[in-house]
Structure 1
Amino acid sequence: MTRCRLCGSEAMASVVDLGATPPCESFLAADQLDQPEPAYPLHLRVCTDCWLAQIPPLITPEETFKEYAYFSSYSTSWVEHARTFVDDAAARLDLGTDAFVVEVASNDGYLLKHVVDRGIRCLGIEPSVNVGAAARDAGVPTLTEFLSPDTGSAVRAEHGPADLVVANNVYAHIPDVVGFTEGLRALVADDGWVSIEVQHLLTLIEENQYDTIYHEHFQYYTVASAIRALASGGLALVDVELLPTHGGSIRLWARPAEVAGEPSQQVVDVLAREKAAGLQELSGYTEFSARVAKVRRDLLRFLITAAERGETVVGYGAPGKGNTLLNHCGIRPDLLAYTVDRNPYKHGRFTPGTRIPILPPERIAADKPDYVLVLPWNLRAELTEQLSFVHEWGGRLVFPIPELSIVEVAS
Structure 2
Amino acid sequence: MVIATCRLCAADLTETFVDLGMSPLCESYLTAAQLDGPETFYPLHVRICSACLLVQLPAYVSGEAIFSDYAYFSSYSRSWVAHAGRYAEAMAADLALGPDSLVTEVASNDGYLLRHFVARGVPVLGVEPAANVAAVARARGVRTEVRFLGADSGADLAERYGRADLVVANNVYAHVPDLVGFTAGLAALVKPTGLVTLEFPHLLRLIERHQYDTIYHEHYQYLSLLTAGRALATGGLAVVDVEELPTHGGSLRVYARPESAAGEPSSRVKTVLDAERDRGLHEVAGHRGFAAAVATVKRDLVDFLQSAHGQDRRVVGYGAPGKGNTLLNHCGIRSDLLPYTVDRSPHKQGRFLPGTHIPIHPPEQIDRDRPDFVLVLPWNLRTEISEQLGHVRDWGGRLVFPIPRLEVA
TM-score higher than 0.5: yes
SS of 2:324 mapped into structure 1: helix
State the one-letter code of the partner of 1:124: G
Out of 219, 238, 260, the position equivalent to 1:217 is 219
Q: Distance in 1 between matches of 2:301 and 2:388?
A: 23
Q: Distance in 2 between matches of 1:153 and 1:175?
A: 19
Indicate whether 1:308 and 2:310 are aligned. Answer: yes
Taking a change above 3 Å as real, the CA distance of residues 11 and 35 of structure 1, as seen in their structure-2 partners, is closer
Deviates more, 1:246-255 or 1:44-53: 44-53
Taking a change above 3 Å as real, the CA distance of residues 346 and 11 of structure 1, as seen in their structure-2 partners, is closer
The 8 Å contact of residues 4 and 58 in structure 2, kept in 1 or not, is answered as no
Q: Give the structure 2 partner of residue 62 of structure 1.
A: 64
Q: Give the structure 2 partner of residue 345 of structure 1.
A: 347
Runs (5+) with no aligned partner, structure 2:
none
Q: Give the structure 2 partner of residue 36 of structure 1.
A: 38
Task: Point out 4+ residue stretches in structure 1 off by more than 6 angstroms.
Answer: none
State the one-letter code of the partner of 1:156: A
Deviates more, 1:7-16 or 1:299-308: 7-16
Indicate whether 1:136 and 2:138 are aligned. Answer: yes
State the one-letter code of the partner of 1:164: L
Q: Give the structure 2 partner of residue 268 of structure 1.
A: 270
1:38, CA displacement in angstroms?
0.3
The 8 Å contact of residues 53 and 284 in structure 2, kept in 1 or not, is answered as no
Out of 301, 320, 323, the position equivalent to 1:321 is 323
1:159, CA displacement in angstroms?
1.3
The 5-angstrom pairing of residues 395-406 of structure 1 reads: 395-406=397-408
Q: Distance in 1 between matches of 2:15 and 2:203?
A: 16
1:244, CA displacement in angstroms?
0.4
State the one-letter code of the partner of 1:280: H
1:12, CA displacement in angstroms?
3.4
Q: Distance in 2 between matches of 1:144 and 1:86?
A: 22
1:286, CA displacement in angstroms?
1.6
The 8 Å contact of residues 4 and 12 in structure 1, kept in 2 or not, is answered as no
| Number of corresponding residues | 407
SS of 1:15 mapped into structure 2: strand
The 8 Å contact of residues 135 and 141 in structure 1, kept in 2 or not, is answered as yes
Q: Give the structure 2 partner of residue 370 of structure 1.
A: 372
Q: Distance in 1 between matches of 2:258 and 2:328?
A: 42
State the one-letter code of the partner of 1:166: V
1:401, CA displacement in angstroms?
0.3
Q: Distance in 1 between matches of 2:132 and 2:154?
A: 22
Q: Give the structure 1 partner of residue 293 of structure 2.
A: 291
Q: Distance in 1 between matches of 2:221 and 2:269?
A: 20
Q: Distance in 1 between matches of 2:243 and 2:14?
A: 29
1:282, CA displacement in angstroms?
2.8
The 8 Å contact of residues 235 and 257 in structure 1, kept in 2 or not, is answered as yes
User: Can you list the C-alpha shifts for 1:19-61, whole angstroms capped at 9, x where unaligned?
Assistant: 0000000000000000000000001111121111001101011
Q: Give the structure 2 partner of residue 100 of structure 1.
A: 102
The 8 Å contact of residues 210 and 290 in structure 2, kept in 1 or not, is answered as yes
SS of 1:346 mapped into structure 2: coil
Q: Give the structure 1 partner of residue 164 of structure 2.
A: 162
Out of 354, 361, 364, the position equivalent to 2:363 is 361
1:11, CA displacement in angstroms?
4.9
SS of 1:378 mapped into structure 2: helix
Q: Give the structure 1 partner of residue 383 of structure 2.
A: 381
User: Can you list the C-alpha shifts for 1:66-123, whole angstroms capped at 9, x where unaligned?
Assistant: 1110000000000000000000111221212211000000000000000100000001
Out of 330, 333, 336, the position equivalent to 2:332 is 330
Q: Distance in 2 between matches of 1:11 and 1:43?
A: 11
User: Can you list the C-alpha shifts for 1:193-215, whole angstroms capped at 9, x where unaligned?
Assistant: 00000110000000000000000
The 8 Å contact of residues 11 and 49 in structure 1, kept in 2 or not, is answered as no
Q: Give the structure 2 partner of residue 180 of structure 1.
A: 182
Q: Give the structure 1 partner of residue 117 of structure 2.
A: 115
State the one-letter code of the partner of 1:362: E
Aligned CA RMSD, in angstroms, stands at 0.7
The 8 Å contact of residues 198 and 251 in structure 1, kept in 2 or not, is answered as yes
* TM-score, structure 2 normalization: 0.99
Q: Distance in 2 between matches of 1:340 and 1:11?
A: 39
The 5-angstrom pairing of residues 220-299 of structure 1 reads: 220-299=222-301
1:406, CA displacement in angstroms?
0.1
State the one-letter code of the partner of 2:229: I
User: Can you list the C-alpha shifts for 1:109-138, whole angstroms capped at 9, x where unaligned?
Assistant: 000000100000001000101110000011
The 8 Å contact of residues 312 and 370 in structure 1, kept in 2 or not, is answered as yes
Q: Distance in 1 between matches of 2:131 and 2:84?
A: 22
Q: Distance in 1 between matches of 2:201 and 2:183?
A: 17
Q: Give the structure 2 partner of residue 196 of structure 1.
A: 198
* TM-score, structure 1 normalization: 0.98
User: Can you list the C-alpha shifts for 1:318-339, whole angstroms capped at 9, x where unaligned?
Assistant: 0000000000000000000100
Runs (5+) with no aligned partner, structure 1:
none
Out of 148, 151, 176, the position equivalent to 2:153 is 151
Out of 13, 16, 36, the position equivalent to 2:15 is 13
Q: Give the structure 2 partner of residue 27 of structure 1.
A: 29
SS of 1:178 mapped into structure 2: helix
Q: Distance in 1 between matches of 2:376 and 2:8?
A: 35
